[in-house]
């Protein structure tokens, strides 16, 4: 049984195939293509260990075989939560080989995020790490087994010593390869989200492979590429833009870092002669500050990609003088569309735009509030469809009805303008989301958690400007009059519920009432305006 998703209309699919963009090959060809000449090339290194392409292939085969014995089969789903580690890619490929579609949670996700992924996906298995506090003991896994009868297996990787995951991939387990249909869902990406519950994005073999192959070409990766993956490995940017998968297609090496701080990354750059990396703007700022005082040799760096949130021109200008490498701006989304500045673009475009789409078949419409196209060069809402932009969130018919227009264009919620060259400039946002230095927070999701508190009547979460992160989050709270709620109490409340740390509001403001718009909705614009002096 295939996993359900909203397919592309047949005439567009025909076009994507005719151009050779959809190759009707499964994502597993990324690995199998390296097994000829490059099987002894190093695929992934993490500072302590490294594995070759042959090992990545045989380890993921072993794990697939092991999971098969546990009863997993094509059409099933799974949840993976692993830190940036060799095991992440072994697990990713093992599941893809099996035809089991995983959602890969971020390592900083907590109880409520994992539970809601379980609710939507009804996974048969989870592969997690005891390095995460939730999986330190068996309490949470027992809770999950009790609550989700679909779950038959939770495999925990223990960072030290022998773990079931390591047993699974290090030992030979016969794997009876699955018949993969490239039109099927290969895995799910996580949406940054703007709604009360997290949304999952089905990505098919065909669409994802095309986005990675084309990205690898644009970014000119080759067998000598040594890519530092310092952002969370499952995120679309370091996975596919061109990310680790692009590096594997090129036959290069991915070097993993636990976080993007210069203290962690600079020594790795020197030791592995890193050529490419991907950063969010706040991390880039730290690199720039640190570089002048550091005597680490960074001369191997060729390209730093920056994306996930808006990069200011003043910071962009410092990249080449301070870090001695080329800047590439990347504006992408887990839902599909990715834009890159090209290496041979004018300097002005590289410094001031967020790039242009990967594909000549990416269609862009920029529209006003009524869905009507704005005149060329003016700003409006970004709508897009194309060979690697999804057609619907998983099992979300109501939300899909408003997230897409009648022509199947996806509304990204970004306010952009487009130059005649096709380059996009991101000018703002029209979605109920906070972009905290690249980490996305769906305001409604956190508001709903807070509304669950006995003494909160109303709450609205909005962004406030922040020097380092670009934006932070502020919760305006209307509480019962007779109780004294404090920031501390509410932080503790959210942490006890178990939500990712970055979603806990940076600031709480206790107010008597929330401003309303003419139609009686909370006026978030007015709340945001309180931060402007």
Of residues 101 through 160, those in contact with ligand OOB by CB under 6 A are none
| Angle, CA of 26, 333 and 313, to the nearest 5° | 135
Give the SS3 label for residue 69.
Answer: helix
Q: Which stretch binds ligand OOB (CB under 6 A): 130-138, 234-242, 481-489, 523-531?
A: 234-242
Neighbour-count burial of 18, counting CB atoms closer than 10 A to its CB (0-12 exposed, 13-18 middle, 19+ buried): exposed
CB nearer to ligand OOB: pick between 80 and 165: 80
- Tell me: does residue 8 bind ligand OOB (CB under 6 A): no
Output the six-digit token pair for 249.
Answer: 């297609």
List, in order, residues 6 or more apart from 512 with CB less than 8 Å away. Answer: 478
φ, ψ (nearest 5 deg) of residue 242: -75, -20
Unique residue bearing structure tokens 């600079």:
266
Do 489 and 505 touch, CB atoms closer than 8 A? no
Provide the 8-state DSSP code for 373.
B
- Tell me: does residue 508 bind ligand OOB (CB under 6 A): no
Neighbour-count burial of 369, counting CB atoms closer than 10 A to its CB (0-12 exposed, 13-18 middle, 19+ buried): exposed
Question: Shortest Cβ contact with ligand OOB: which residue?
Answer: 332
Instruction: Pick the binder of ligand OOB from 195, 341, 412, 418 (CB under 6 A).
Output: 412
- Tell me: does residue 333 bind ligand OOB (CB under 6 A): yes
Q: Give least dist CB 201 to ligand OOB, A.
A: 8
Instruction: Pick the binder of ligand OOB from 168, 198, 282, 308 (CB under 6 A).
Output: 308
- Tell me: does residue 329 bind ligand OOB (CB under 6 A): yes
**What's the rounded Cα separation, in Å, for the pair 115 and 360?**
39
- Tell me: does residue 441 bind ligand OOB (CB under 6 A): no
Instruction: Pick the binder of ligand OOB from 100, 120, 155, 330 (CB under 6 A).
Output: 330
Q: Which stretch binds ligand OOB (CB under 6 A): 103-111, 153-161, 328-336, 357-365?
A: 328-336
Question: Total residues contacting ligand OOB (rule CB under 6 A)?
Answer: 22
Q: Give least dist CB 307 to ligand OOB, A.
A: 4
- Tell me: does residue 309 bind ligand OOB (CB under 6 A): yes
Q: Which stretch binds ligand OOB (CB under 6 A): 81-89, 204-212, 235-243, 487-495?
A: 235-243
| Angle, CA of 56, 34 and 219, to the nearest 5° | 105
Kindly list the distances between the CA atom of residue 290 and the CA atoms of 264, 266, 284, 298, in Å, as whole numbers in the listed order.
Answer: 12, 9, 10, 12
Instruction: Pick the binder of ligand OOB from 82, 219, 229, 334 (CB under 6 A).
Output: 334
Instruction: Pick the binder of ligand OOB from 429, 453, 472, 524 (CB under 6 A).
Output: 429
Do 379 and 414 touch, CB atoms closer than 8 A? no
CB nearer to ligand OOB: pick between 184 and 432: 432
Q: Which stretch binds ligand OOB (CB under 6 A): 94-102, 115-123, 305-313, 506-514?
A: 305-313
**What's the rounded Cα separation, in Å, for the pair 455 and 533?**
31
Q: Give least dist CB 435 to ligand OOB, A.
A: 6
Q: Give least dist CB 393 to ligand OOB, A.
A: 12
Instruction: Pick the binder of ligand OOB from 440, 472, 503, 524 (CB under 6 A).
Output: 440
CB nearer to ligand OOB: pick between 90 and 338: 338
CB nearer to ligand OOB: pick between 186 and 514: 186
Instruction: Pick the binder of ligand OOB from 211, 354, 384, 389 (CB under 6 A).
Output: 354
Output the six-digit token pair for 136.
Answer: 């330190």
CB nearer to ligand OOB: pick between 301 and 333: 333
- Tell me: does residue 426 bind ligand OOB (CB under 6 A): yes
Kindly list the distances between the CA atom of residue 364 and the CA atoms of 187, 190, 309, 373, in Å, as whole numbers in the listed order.
Answer: 25, 22, 20, 10
**What's the rounded Cα separation, in Å, for the pair 88 and 159?**
13
- Tell me: does residue 218 bind ligand OOB (CB under 6 A): no
Do 113 and 499 touch, CB atoms closer than 8 A? yes
Q: Would you call the peptide bond into 314 cis, given omega within 30 degrees of 0 as the criterion? A: no
Residue 104: beta bridge partners? 80
Instruction: Pick the binder of ligand OOB from 310, 417, 449, 453 (CB under 6 A).
Output: 310
Do 320 and 326 touch, CB atoms closer than 8 A? yes
Do 106 and 134 touch, CB atoms closer than 8 A? no
CB nearer to ligand OOB: pick between 207 and 414: 414
- Tell me: does residue 46 bind ligand OOB (CB under 6 A): no
Kindly list the distances between the CA atom of residue 195 and the CA atoms of 90, 112, 126, 447, 504, in Å, as whole numbers in the listed order.
Answer: 32, 15, 25, 10, 16
List, in order, residues 6 or more apart from 347 with CB less than 8 Å away. Answer: none
Residue 102: beta bridge partners? 78
Instruction: Pick the binder of ligand OOB from 207, 414, 444, 471 (CB under 6 A).
Output: 414
- Tell me: does residue 307 bind ligand OOB (CB under 6 A): yes
Q: Give least dist CB 357 to ligand OOB, A.
A: 12
Q: Give least dist CB 197 to ligand OOB, A.
A: 16
CB nearer to ligand OOB: pick between 157 and 414: 414
Biggest CA–CA distance in the chain, Å, is: 73
- Tell me: does residue 332 bind ligand OOB (CB under 6 A): yes
Site string for ligand OOB, 163-202 (x = CB under 6 A): -----------------------------x----------
Q: What is the CA radius of gyration of the chain?
A: 23
> Contact positions toward ligand OOB, by CB under 6 A?
192, 236-237, 241, 307-310, 329-334, 338, 354, 412, 414, 426, 429, 435, 440
């Amino acid at each position: 049984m295939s996993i359900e998703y909203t397919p592309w209309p047949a005439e567009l699919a025909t076009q994507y195939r005719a151009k050779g963009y959809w190759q009707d090959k499964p994502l597993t060809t990324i690995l199998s293509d390296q097994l000829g000449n490059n099987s002894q090339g190093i695929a992934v290194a993490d500072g302590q260990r490294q594995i070759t392409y042959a090992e990545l292939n045989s380890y993921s085969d072993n794990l697939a075989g092991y999971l098969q014995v546990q009863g997993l089969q094509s059409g099933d789903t799974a949840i993976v939560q692993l830190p940036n580690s060799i095991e992440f890619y072994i697990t990713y490929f093992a599941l893809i080989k099996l035809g089991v579609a995983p959602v890969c949670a971020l390592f900083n996700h907590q109880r409520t995020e994992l539970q809601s992924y379980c609710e939507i996906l009804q996974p048969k298995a989870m592969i997690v790490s005891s390095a995460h506090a939730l999986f330190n003991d068996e309490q949470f896994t027992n809770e999950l087994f009790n609550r989700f009868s679909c779950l038959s297996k939770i495999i925990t990787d223990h960072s030290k010593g022998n773990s079931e995951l390591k047993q699974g991939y290090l030992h030979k387990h016969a794997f009876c390869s699955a018949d993969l249909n490239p039109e099927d869902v290969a895995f799910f990406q996580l949406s940054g989200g703007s709604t009360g519950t997290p949304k999952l994005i089905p990505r098919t073999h065909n669409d994802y492979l095309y986005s990675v192959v084309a990205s690898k070409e644009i970014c000119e990766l080759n067998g000598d590429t040594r890519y530092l993956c310092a952002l969370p490995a499952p995120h679309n940017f370091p996975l596919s833009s061109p990310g680790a998968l692009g590096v594997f297609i090129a036959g290069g090496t991915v070097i993993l870092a636990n976080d993007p701080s210069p203290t962690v990354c600079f020594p790795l750059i020197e030791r592995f002669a890193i050529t490419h990396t991907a950063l969010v703007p706040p991390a880039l700022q730290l690199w720039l500050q640190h570089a002048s005082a550091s005597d680490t040799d960074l001369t191997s760096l060729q390209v730093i990609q920056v994306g996930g949130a808006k990069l200011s021109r003043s910071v962009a200008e410092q990249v080449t003088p301070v870090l001695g490498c080329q800047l590439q701006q990347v504006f992408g989304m887990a839902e599909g569309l990715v834009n890159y500045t090209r290496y041979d673009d004018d300097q002005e475009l590289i410094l001031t735009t967020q790039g242009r789409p990967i594909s000549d078949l990416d269609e862009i419409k920029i529209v006003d509030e009524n869905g009507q196209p704005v005149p060329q060069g003016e700003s409006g809402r970004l709508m897009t469809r194309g060979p690697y932009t999804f057609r619907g969130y998983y099992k979300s018919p109501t939300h899909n009805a408003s997230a897409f227009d009648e022509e199947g264009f996806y509304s990204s919620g970004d306010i952009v303008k487009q130059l005649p060259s096709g380059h996009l400039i991101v000018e703002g946002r029209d979605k109920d989301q906070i972009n905290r230095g690249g980490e996305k927070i769906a305001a409604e999701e956190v508001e709903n958690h807070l509304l669950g508190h006995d003494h909160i009547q109303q709450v609205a979460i909005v962004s406030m400007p922040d020097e380092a992160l670009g934006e932070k989050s502020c919760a305006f709270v209307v509480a019962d009059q007779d109780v004294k709620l404090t920031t501390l109490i509410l932080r503790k409340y959210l942490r006890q519920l178990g939500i990712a740390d970055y979603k806990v509001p940076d600031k709480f403001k206790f107010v008597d009432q929330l401003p309303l718009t003419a139609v009686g909705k909370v006026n978030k614009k007015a709340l945001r305006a309180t931060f402007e002096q």
